[in-house]
């Protein structure tokens, strides 16, 4: 697989289209995972309901409810452990991290976000992981506008399109930047239909 890393910013690297060849298989695996751990829209501590639907695989999964945000080993919705992370997913995340200069990445969790038209993710930092290892993100389906700020909420935002197959590695100085996803525009994608998926590989401990 050809990899042409583009440096986005300190610590942030994008591999455009790196996952495209794996899309059909990975989307089938997302659907299989969702049979065991269904996509659900979580409640936030503020009492809202997220517009993005989520599920997880791996040793721990992210969850949000009235009590706050945390990683848990058992899916609160099913009472079962999260489905295993497919070995090929883990390999892709480790290889992408290495290409970005992060050797030894050992993801133990993958958060799977499902976006329908209109779904968005407000500006936030990812701070629920105990490790400061990088986060590797993989996008499939409809394009999204990624909003990328700085370490202060009020820092100016850049907008970068994330397209089907794009892989981004966020580490070092980029690990705790504020970021979000603008409301998804309606469309039809050949592989996912009217949907966008984003996978984020994380080290939670």
Interface contacts to ligand MD3, rule CB under 6 A: 111, 113, 121, 126, 135, 137, 144, 146, 168, 170, 174-175, 177, 179, 181, 198, 200
For helices 87-99 and 23-36, the axis angle rounded to 10 degrees is 130
Cβ-closest position to ligand MD3: 198
Closer by beta carbon to ligand MD3, 46 or else 79: 46
* DSSP 8-state assignment for residue 24: H
Burial code of 71-89, b = ≥16 C-beta within 10 A, e = fewer? beeebeeeeebbbebbeeb
Least CB distance to ligand MD3 at residue 74 (A)? 20
Closer by beta carbon to ligand MD3, 26 or else 121: 121
Least CB distance to Fe ion at residue 109 (A)? 13
Q: Identify the sign of the CA torsion 8, 153, 177, 51.
A: negative
| Cα-Cα end-to-end distance for the chain | 30
Cβ-closest position to Fe ion: 126
Closer by beta carbon to Fe ion, 18 or else 175: 175
Residues that bind Fe ion (CB under 5 A): 126
Q: Which residue has the tokens 């090929």?
A: 88
Least CB distance to Fe ion at residue 28 (A)? 25
Least CB distance to Fe ion at residue 63 (A)? 15
Residue 99's closest CA among 184, 14, 197, 26? Answer: 14
């Amino acid at each position: 697989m050809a990899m042409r890393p583009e440096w986005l910013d300190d610590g942030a690297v994008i591999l455009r289209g790196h996952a495209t060849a794996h899309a059909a298989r990975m989307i089938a695996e997302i659907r299989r995972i969702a049979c065991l751990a269904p996509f659900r829209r979580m409640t936030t501590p503020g009492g809202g309901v997220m517009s993005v639907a989520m599920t997880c695989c791996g040793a721990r999964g992210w969850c949000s409810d009235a009590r706050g945000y945390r990683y848990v080993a058992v899916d609160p919705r099913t009472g079962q452990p999260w489905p295993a992370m497919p070995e090929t997913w883990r390999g892709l995340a480790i290889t992408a991290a290495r290409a970005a200069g992060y050797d030894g990445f050992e993801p133990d969790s993958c958060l799977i976000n499902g976006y329908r038209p209109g779904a968005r993710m407000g500006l936030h930092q990812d701070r629920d992981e105990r490790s400061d290892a990088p986060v590797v993100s993989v996008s499939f389906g409809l394009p999204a506008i990624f909003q990328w700020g700085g370490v202060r909420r009020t820092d100016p935002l850049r907008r970068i399109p994330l397209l089907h197959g794009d892989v981004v590695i966020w580490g070092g100085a980029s690990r705790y930047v504020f970021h979000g996803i603008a409301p998804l525009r309606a469309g039809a994608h050949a592989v996912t239909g009217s949907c966008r998926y984003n996978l984020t590989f994380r080290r939670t401990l």
